[in-house]
Amino acid sequence: MTPAPRRRPAGAAPPAPARAAAVRVLERVERDAAWADLALEAELGRRRLAPRDAALATELVFGTLRWQRYLDWILAPHSRRRLAALDPRVRVVLRVSAYQLAFLERVPPFAAVNDAVSLARGRPGVAGYVNAVLRALARRGPREREPAPPRDPLEALATRCSCPTWLAARWVERWGAVEAEALMRALCERPPLTLRANTLRTTREALGARLAAEEGLAWRPTTWAPEGLVVGPGGAPGAWRAFAEGAFAVQDEASMLVGHLLAPRAGETVADVCAAPGTKTTHLAQLMEDRGRVLALDPAPARLARVREAAARLGTASVEALDGTVEALAPRFREACDAVLVDAPCSNLGVLRRNPEVKWRRQPADLAASARGQGRILAAAAAMVRPGGRLVYATCSLEPEENAEVAGAFLAAHPGFHPDPPAAFPLPLDADGVLRCLPHRHGTDGFTAVRFRRA
């Protein structure tokens, strides 16, 4: 049985900066629908936390969002008020503290609870309420914290795996309960820190050795992508000298495989029509040995600036950033490209371990809306492909509406294109020639991609 946390005496120190930062970020996510990664980046920049505190704040923000439904479930029996009816700040404080109690064994319960009480002060009775709820939760051992599960098996599964019921239902229907549970749990895990060695300047092995020497990082090669490596644990990659010198980009292995599926070659003209923030764009230039032309299209000037920054840092001079939508710019490059990548905006349901707030915002109707936009982008991009050229359609989604159905509609409307899976590929493709990266099977983000060729 876990001992009850001690009370903080009057006049005690303010809450730990990591917890204060995490609560502030999560409150912005809750109140303003802010993106967690951007809100965290801004908050850490404002507070200038020590690396250890920044790491804890990051863990609290993303861990709390990944396990949000589960946390609400274990909190509910100890609260006389419905959590959904609470002020957002109070709800966030409770969730952050419950996450520490349930998942972070190295955090003393009294520290989590006392800081929560300090962070909840401001309204009469709120600090006492938070203290009572969390002390009650902390008194229970790990096996006692889970209340009786919902009677409906699907609701019980979705609750334990911290997933919206509608999404759990889709995955159970498609893959069965056992594999759906494995997928949901994988999407609640901390993702690895995966880097793409910039082979224009170094090798994977040399980069790994450098990071081991300069940053004290352990590393291993990725399983399928030849230029990828997994590193850690460690600090923020943007603070490493190797990053400033353009030796690597932060990129998941599934994302790297999309570039390999397009297979750009030196001297070709290639387009990335949804380019920001430039991670795949610069990878294409790297695969082409920075010889040729890489057109990077994006309609948002601020996001396009990130493409230019990435290209400059990595030394990819072949990248040309173009401001505008593919629908507007495609006529300028009609049949001018040897290969075109459509990394389409999507539901992001395959990258929930990195963007966990997404699963609490998406609704089933969003899939059809995404598919309509994806179809328009893919059709416009197809006009840029020369005869005999290649076209890759990719999403960070696993949903058929955004993948198979979009691809099928495209082929029906464009008989000059046909599926063109490579004869050999590092990660085995599905029987239908589709690249499907699954977090619970491959340890990567969830991605789906297919290659077409124009006759």
Tell me whether strands 447-454 and 385-395 are parallel, antiparallel or unpaired.
antiparallel
67-89: pLDDT as tens digits: 999 999 999 999 999 999 999 99
Residue 11 pLDDT greater than 90, yes or no: no
Q: Are residues 301 and 385 in the same domain?
A: yes
pLDDT class for 144, splitting at 50, 70, 90? confident
Question: Using CA atoms, how far apart are residues 5 and 95, in angstroms rounded to an integer?
Answer: 17
Indicate which residues carry an active-site annotation.
Answer: 396
Question: Using CA atoms, how far apart are residues 296 and 337, in angstroms rounded to an integer?
Answer: 12
pLDDT class for 318, splitting at 50, 70, 90? very high
- Residue 80's domain is classified under what CATH number? 1.10.940.10
Q: Are residues 358 and 432 in the same domain?
A: yes
Q: What is the mean pLDDT of residues 111-137?
A: 92
210-257: pLDDT as tens digits: 999 999 999 999 999 999 999 987 778 998 999 999 999 999 999 999
- Residue 289's domain is classified under what CATH number? 3.40.50.150
Q: 4 lies in a domain?
A: no
Q: 243 lies in a domain?
A: yes
Q: Are residues 80 and 161 in the same domain?
A: no
Q: 220 lies in a domain?
A: yes
**How distant is the alpha carbon of residue 87 from its chain centre?**
28
Greater model confidence, 4 or 292: 292
CA distances to 116, 368, 402 from 365, rounded to whole Å, are: 37, 6, 12
Question: CB of 175 within 8 A of CB of 441?
Answer: no
Question: CB of 61 within 8 A of CB of 36?
Answer: yes
Which one-letter DSSP state was computed for residue 140?
S
Task: Name the region of 220 (left: φ>0; alpha: ψ -120 to 50; beta: rest).
Answer: beta
154-163: pLDDT as tens digits: 999 999 999 9
Q: 333 lies in a domain?
A: yes
Residue 133 pLDDT greater than 50, yes or no: yes
Q: Are residues 209 and 345 in the same domain?
A: no
Q: 3 lies in a domain?
A: no
Q: 12 lies in a domain?
A: no
pLDDT class for 124, splitting at 50, 70, 90? confident
Q: Are residues 294 and 425 in the same domain?
A: yes
Q: 7 lies in a domain?
A: no
pLDDT for residue 328: 97
Ramachandran angles phi, psi of 52, nearest 5°: -65, -40
Q: Where are the beta strands (DSSP E) in 111-209?
A: 193-197
Q: Are residues 203 and 169 in the same domain?
A: no
Tell me whether strands 293-298 and 319-323 are parallel, antiparallel or unpaired.
parallel
Q: Are residues 316 and 449 in the same domain?
A: yes
pLDDT more than 70, % of the chain:
97
pLDDT class for 13, splitting at 50, 70, 90? low
- Residue 229's domain is classified under what CATH number? 3.30.70.1170
pLDDT for residue 293: 98
Closest CA relative to residue 455, chosen from 422, 411, 405? 411
Residue 6 pLDDT greater than 50, yes or no: no
Q: What is the mean pLDDT of residues 1-29?
A: 74
Q: Which domain holds residue 42?
A: 17-144
Q: Are residues 21 and 140 in the same domain?
A: yes
Q: Are residues 58 and 165 in the same domain?
A: no
Question: CB of 196 within 8 A of CB of 313?
Answer: no
Q: Are residues 180 and 199 in the same domain?
A: no
Question: 452 has which bridge partners?
Answer: 391, 419
Is residue 304 helix, strand or coil? Answer: helix
The residue from 204, 222, 250 where one domain ends is: 250
Q: What is the mean pLDDT of residues 33-57?
A: 92
Number of structural domains found in the chain: 4
> Which residues 6+ apart lie within 8 Å of 124 measured at CB?
none
The residue from 250, 271, 291 where one domain ends is: 250
Question: CB of 274 within 8 A of CB of 242?
Answer: no
Q: Are residues 177 and 208 in the same domain?
A: no
Q: Are residues 345 and 395 in the same domain?
A: yes
Q: 350 lies in a domain?
A: yes
Question: Using CA atoms, how far apart are residues 315 and 169, in angstroms rounded to an integer?
Answer: 46
Round the CA-based radius of gyration of the chain to a whole number and report it.
24
CA distances to 62, 252, 263, 391 from 258, rounded to whole Å, are: 26, 10, 9, 11
CA distances to 282, 339, 429 from 425, rounded to whole Å, are: 21, 18, 7
